[in-house]
Structure 1
Amino acid sequence: MSSAEHVPRVLGVPRAPGLPYERYVALGDSQTEGLGDGDDATGLRGWADRLAEHLAAVNPQLQYANLAVRGRLAGQVHAEQLAPALALRPDLATVVAGVNDLMRPRFDAVEVVGHLEAMFAALTAAGARVVTVTFPDVGKIVPLARPLRPRVYALNAGIRAAAARHGVPVVETAGHAFAVDPRIWTEDRLHLSPLGHERFAAAAAQAVQLPGADDGWTRPLPPYPAVAGRRAAAAELRWIAAHLGPWLGRRLRGRSSGDGRTAKRPQLLAVSPTP
């Protein structure tokens, strides 16, 4: 992330004192669905589930719905998830989308931010506290994605401006070294690992001012041995074969990882304690 991108950790207007959150609804794509934290056979957890657990520790009466579906573009999240979210009358909502748009040839930051802002506006007008996020430098996570850096910066700037217009706190993961640490990401480098989901949930908990939440999520991880030379080149070739190739194949066929999928938790339900 460039020095021009450095901003405070959490932006936005503090929530007014009142009752704990009672209805939390998460909107988004694969990160919010929880890919990288569990699997489809045993169940996905993810940062939104983890945030719901933090919320339920404060208010055991909390109900939580997760409308996110992998592969969705920001416009699809807007078209498919906003109306169901409003129908659930949340007092807290998280809106995280835009990464899938970044990787499309015809990316338009203004269009993507427009979809996000429409969701911010509708949810806040309905009385929900909304939280969103900016994205880390993809070029430091995936070297082949360095040409996408200007897109990330433009998207982040647009998200900050739109969020400010609606009093939406912004979780700023991008300004911290841990956000591009390989241990935060799964082998595909697109989805958070369990540790990454844990860190992001802690960041969101601070954004909504949960009791006991602090900035511990910003701390760097212990030193990690760097990979260079032939080992680094070999790792890139393995990543291309295992992850980039299949992703490109789906794009060429007009397919998405989310085809035929629906939300994993479309209704508000109580949050069970984590074993």
Structure 2
Amino acid sequence: MYLRLAALGDSTTVGIGDPVPGGWRGWARLLAESLGTAYDVSFCNLAVSGAICADVRSEQLADAVAHAPDLASLIVGVNDTMRSTWDPVRIREDLMTCAEALHGSGAMLVTARFHDHGAVFGLPGVLRRPLAARIEVVNRVYDEVYASYGGIRLDLATRPEVATRRFWSVDRLHPSELGHRALAHAYGELLHGEGMHFQLPGLEAQGGYEPSWRRDVMWMVAEGAPWVGRRARDLGPLAVRLAVTDRRVGRTKVGA
């Protein structure tokens, strides 16, 4: 049986955190390979590192629809929460437009609800809380997508493995090989529940990152600090604004 799979999104769907010779693999490719044990799969990964919802709508959606997918993953929005261009109205419009077009093309949607990234990254509460509030805004849009178009979705906040260090690569922003395998396996189980039968992706990592403080320090010096520097234009002012807003809200609640 022939099956078409299109993957839309950002760096997690690109596969960053799960290196293989020649590039990245990631959960979407792992799932496609597992589907290939029972189907003749045509896999189209359109995800781009750093993408926000508007990028998926303007740069990935048309090619995904042209692929005429039976399954289409739409997992994006975390980058939006960390940008100074944050616009909840635009995010909802972009995600709903993408979901409607993909569903209208005949695809079963594959989506997610996001966890508290700030907790995993170890942000102080004054920054973690407002960022978590933004993530929840994105999650509510995905709730609307799911209510309107169905499909399968994974609630990452309910997955205990997401809270473990081994689930994450050294940057704590992207899943490790083990994390990508866990995502692919979980989506595979959901597809089994929809009546699709194939060999589930393996959960045993073949290599990759083993967490240790030495590796974390080396990454922070070689990669983490330069990344923060590149993003400082957005993250610096954003962090200040979020912290001030959070403090004002806290004071209002105390005085209420």
Sort the TM-score into its range (normalised by shorter chain): 0.7 to 0.9
Uncovered stretches (5+) of structure 1, i.e. residues with no partner? 1-19, 218-226, 255-275
Tell me the equivalent position of 1:251: 231
Q: Give the match's secondary structure for 1:205.
A: helix
Q: Pick from 67, 78, 102: which aligns with 2:81?
A: 102
- The one of 171, 180, 185 equivalent to 2:154 is 171
Q: 2:216 and 2:3 mapped to 1: Cα distance?
A: 45
Inter-CA distance 241–131: structure 2 relative to 1 (3 Å threshold): same
The whole-number CA distance in structure 1 between the counterparts of 2:223 and 2:135 is 21
- Aligned partner of 1:258 in structure 2 is none
Which amino acid is the alignment partner of residue 197 of structure 2?
P
Cα deviation digits, residues 224-266 of structure 1 (max 9, x gap): xxx9xxx8xx998776545543223223478xxxxxxxxxxxx
Are 1:197 and 2:197 counterparts?
A: no
Point out the more displaced range, 150-159 or 49-58. 150-159
Structure 1 residue 212 displacement after superposition = 6.0
Give, in whole Å, the separation in 1 of the partners of 2:73 and 2:8.
6
**Aligned residue type for 2:178:** L
CA RMSD of aligned residues (A): 2.7
Aligned to 2:197: 211
Give deviations 1:95-119, integer Å, cap 9, x for gaps. 1101111111342333223211111
AA at the equivalent of 1:51: L
Q: Please state whether the residue corresponding to 1:131 is helix, strand or coil.
A: strand
Q: 1:33 to 1:236 in 2, by over 3 A?
A: closer
Per-residue CA deviations over 1:89-139 (Å, capped at 9, x if unaligned) read 111111110111111134233322321111110011111111111111112
Q: Is the 8 A contact 1:113 1:162 kept in 2?
A: no
Q: Which of 19, 35, 42 pairs up with 2:16?
A: 35
Tell me the SS of whatever aligns to 2:7: strand
Contact 2:16 2:175 survives alignment (8 Å): yes
- Counting only pairs closer than 5 Å after superposition, residues 105-184 of structure 1 correspond to structure 2 as 105-144=84-123, 146-147=128-129, 148-184=131-167
Query: How many pairs does the alignment contain?
Result: 219
> Structure 2 residue aligned with 1:45, among 18, 25, 30?
25
**Whole-angstrom distance in 1 between the partners of 2:69 and 2:198:** 23
- SS in structure 1 at match of 2:48: coil
Match of 1:80 among 59, 63, 66: 59
Could you say what secondary structure the match of 1:22 adopts? strand
Separation (CA, whole Å) in 1 of partners of 2:51 and 2:159: 26
Q: How big is the shift at 1:48?
A: 0.3
Would the alpha carbon gap of residues 168 and 117 (structure 1) be closer, same or farther in structure 2, given more than 3 Å must change? farther
Partner of 1:8: none
Report the CA distance between 1:163 and its aligned residue. 1.9
Distance 1:243 1:157, change over 3 A: farther
Equivalent residue, structure 1, for 2:243: none
What SS does the aligned partner of 2:112 have?
strand
Query: Contact between 1:36 and 1:46, CA under 8 Å: does it hold in 2?
Result: yes
Q: Report the structure, 1 or 2, having the larger helix content.
A: 2
Q: Which moved more, 1:194-203 or 1:136-145?
A: 136-145
- The 1:37/1:239 distance shift into structure 2, 3 A limit, reads closer
Say whether the 8 Å CA contact 1:185–1:191 is kept in structure 2. Answer: yes
Instruction: Measure, in 2, the Cα distance between the counterparts of 1:132 and 1:47.
Output: 13
Local SS of the residue matching 1:150: helix
Q: 1:172 to 1:253 in 2, by over 3 A?
A: closer
Q: Which runs of 5+ in 2 are unaligned?
A: 204-211, 235-256
TM-aligned CA distance change 1:21 to 1:166, over 3 Å: farther
- 3-state SS of paired residue (2:158): coil
Change (3 A) 1:117 1:128: same
Match for 2:88: what amino acid?
Answer: A
Q: Which amino acid aligns with 1:108?
A: D
CA distance, structure 1, for counterparts of residue 167 and residue 185 of structure 2: 14
Secondary structure in structure 2 of the residue aligned to 1:174: helix
Deviation at 1:211, TM superposition (A): 2.1
CA contact (8 A) 1:94 1:132 kept: yes
Q: TM-score when scaled to structure 1?
A: 0.71
